[in-house]
Structure 1
């Protein structure tokens, strides 16, 4: 059944109506009348990548303040209006995007467009609200700092990157959050929140022309300006980097990071399939060899994450009680090294490709899901249509591709290794 579903999806590329307003605002409309619901999303081209030293976390802080009111709508009124219309809403900040989204009945989505247009141009960012909300964000930061398993990944980025913006956490460093002023946030808002720096995605039970007319009504008169990214070139890593991070933990763990490629790179599909071969499902190599057969790990997972300006192939492992981190680390390398020289079996490759396709399909199995994918690929890959190309490239991944990308990216000189260990007694 899965193969049938995948085949149907593969031969029906995503169809999107695309519009650009005179002020630079991009609109993507995905029409799907399966259910009478619509997802409306505003994707701004700004995130932690755009921040500088001293301003880390400012994009996330602005996201919080975006719910604190305009002259027309008071604090928290946005959420009350959406919920009162039977919808759900939220927002998030990532490396390259800040996204505001709501999911409503198809007869109510105009409300979200009206509110987002107001939010795009009329945020107050009042001093009293700012002081209060900053404390909320600082508490979020404290919670992360109190989670050693989160912090090992933060340390991995800090040590794995020399000066690239990817080394900075999305939530920001505590000292910067404390220091950022209300005026800093307001300037950030005025620079990045405008039609020329935004993509609106409307997905679901909607007619494209109607969606365009509504977007033009609410956003067409707003002034827009294009914001250029500054691309940072991280020097190639020339040697393994290692560190220990000690906290009060019961279970030690290790994290390994390899630098890979951008989301639009031709090798991203082969690396995604490689990640599936190593750690996706009960028949994956890590699960079979490290967890079940040899009993070295309680967990061993791979995460291949890609952004507009780079990517990481991350491995996280937790050893069994009597197993050292070094023993687990060496076993991980043995599993990787075998993929550099021995071709995978036909059945293993096909299963991994189907898993990669299925994983992507499931991520977009709703108006909200497909909207998020379209917005992220539009901004981070340089065009939503490259999502269709990605599915085509997954199907073309060969045994030789797996060997090549393993040899190219999963090398000792290109990796950073962190050990999470219990604190030592004095």
Structure 2
């Protein structure tokens, strides 16, 4: 057990990892359970299963039938939700601190007792398919899906979390329940509590509710390793609409490498600080290099960068909305010129200092509430450990001008990128 200043990290006998942190600024608390399962744990035939299982955990248990948990949380003035991504599925509730025990009861119960009622599963198939169809109406989704499939030919990161339509139409209730039974175990989970409580008392509550759950079998490992990229890859997507898009992704370092922080600083200089986010895109900074080169010159209507932390090596992404009357080729040419410039000429010390200052401010803002702190603590524990979150500012502050130029030269190479255009049919 690690214990310092109201923070506790421990592991129960059933191998559930537990993080507890006191935060007394307001009389609220947030409780999360993170499962180390997402689309990276899927294969063709069951793509989208993690996301679908997440939905099914809101469909009830014997103790909390469908809708009862949500109503109970709402009566206490709380919020209640879940989400799925490449590396995780997570559930959380934020409540008045004196009522947080309710969240523990709900999460411990549905870790093992979710019903997966056949009728509810069938009804949710319609919902999930509708969600997929809605995404297909978004040109940026279509482009990103094609681009990631080209960038990752072996690793499951090449498949979107929502899954392929053919799998959503054919997956069975038993396949979904098997996915749940395999991955929703204490030994594959992290419980996080942050808020206005005594850490020892909260730890006892976690032990009371989760300690009785037996650990599960060993989780199947993800053995896929993406081979080196041996040249630029390109995709073009044609579809409805009046707006063209450009997206460019580069193979990126893992979060365990110092290069990750240097590339984060480079992104802040190129597109503006985005804090630490796994959803992509952040604050568009009008003083950033790419904003000046693409938006101010009226080539693009917007530009954003994204470098999300992941378990396995992922990508650094740049996305541009092409302005009416312009083409993806024009935007790509200007973008390439700026990337060549930052590779050949180091950013100035003043530019780097400003970028890091803005990134630190965004990070502080994005981790201010107890809900956000619990999110980042749990998320960090999934792909590294909670100290990664605690040391984020220090690691970012240590980045030098030389580091930024080195990672620009190492990662922003043409042979390391995959480029995608979305071309509206009206302009094709």
- With the length of structure 1 as denominator, give the TM-score of the two structures: 0.94
1:216 aligns with 2:207: yes
Q: Matched residues in 1 for 2:220 and 2:27: separation? A: 38
Decide whether the 8 Å contact of 1:14 with 1:388 is kept in 2.
no
Secondary structure of the equivalent of 1:305?
coil
Could you list the runs of 5+ residues in structure 1 that have no partner in the other structure?
1-12
Secondary structure of the equivalent of 2:308?
strand
Decide whether the 8 Å contact of 2:33 with 2:92 is kept in 1.
yes
Q: Over aligned residues, Cα RMSD in angstroms? A: 1.6
Q: After superposition, where does 1:218-237 map in structure 2 within 5 Å?
A: 218-225=209-216, 226-237=218-229
Q: What is residue 58 of structure 2 aligned with on the other side?
A: 67
Shift of 1:183: 0.4
Q: Which one of 44, 58, 76 corresponds to residue 53 of structure 1?
A: 44
Q: What is residue 398 of structure 2 aligned with on the other side?
A: 396
Q: Matched residues in 2 for 1:197 and 1:324: separation? A: 47
Q: Which one of 144, 165, 179 corresponds to residue 174 of structure 1?
A: 165
Decide whether the 8 Å contact of 2:242 with 2:426 is kept in 1.
no
Q: Which one of 269, 276, 279 corresponds to residue 277 of structure 1?
A: 269
Q: What is residue 291 of structure 2 aligned with on the other side?
A: 287
Decide whether the 8 Å contact of 2:267 with 2:305 is kept in 1.
yes
Q: After superposition, where does 1:244-323 map in structure 2 within 5 Å?
A: 244-280=236-272, 281-292=285-296, 294-323=297-326
Shift of 1:177: 1.0
Could you list the runs of 5+ residues in structure 2 that have no partner in the other structure?
273-284
Q: Matched residues in 2 for 1:14 and 1:354: separation? A: 27
Q: After superposition, where does 1:113-128 map in structure 2 within 5 Å?
A: 113-128=104-119
Q: What is residue 96 of structure 2 aligned with on the other side?
A: 105
Secondary structure of the equivalent of 2:325?
coil
Shift of 1:265: 2.2
Alpha-carbon displacement from aligned partner over 1:28-69 (angstroms, at most 9, x marks no partner): 011110000000000011000000111000011011110111
Shift of 1:319: 2.8
Alpha carbons of structure 1 residues 15 and 169: separation in structure 2 relative to 1, 3 Å? farther
Alpha-carbon displacement from aligned partner over 1:311-341 (angstroms, at most 9, x marks no partner): 2111111233333221210110111111112
Q: Matched residues in 1 for 2:34 and 2:183: separation? A: 11
Secondary structure of the equivalent of 2:169?
helix
1:153 aligns with 2:144: yes
Q: Matched residues in 2 for 1:118 and 1:298: separation? A: 48
Q: Matched residues in 2 for 1:314 and 1:140: separation? A: 24
Q: Matched residues in 2 for 1:318 and 1:222: separation? A: 49
Q: What is residue 364 of structure 2 aligned with on the other side?
A: 361
Secondary structure of the equivalent of 1:251?
coil
Worse-matched range after superposition: 278-287 or 415-424: 415-424
Shift of 1:425: 8.9
Shift of 1:342: 1.1
Decide whether the 8 Å contact of 1:264 with 1:308 is kept in 2.
no
Q: What is residue 131 of structure 1 aligned with on the other side?
A: 122
- Segments of 4+ moved more than 6 angstroms: none
Decide whether the 8 Å contact of 1:303 with 1:313 is kept in 2.
yes
Shift of 1:188: 0.9
Q: Which one of 67, 77, 90 corresponds to residue 86 of structure 1?
A: 77
Alpha carbons of structure 1 residues 301 and 341: separation in structure 2 relative to 1, 3 Å? same
Shift of 1:16: 3.1
Decide whether the 8 Å contact of 2:154 with 2:227 is kept in 1.
no
Decide whether the 8 Å contact of 2:241 with 2:426 is kept in 1.
no
Secondary structure of the equivalent of 1:39?
strand
Q: Matched residues in 1 for 2:362 and 2:6: separation? A: 20
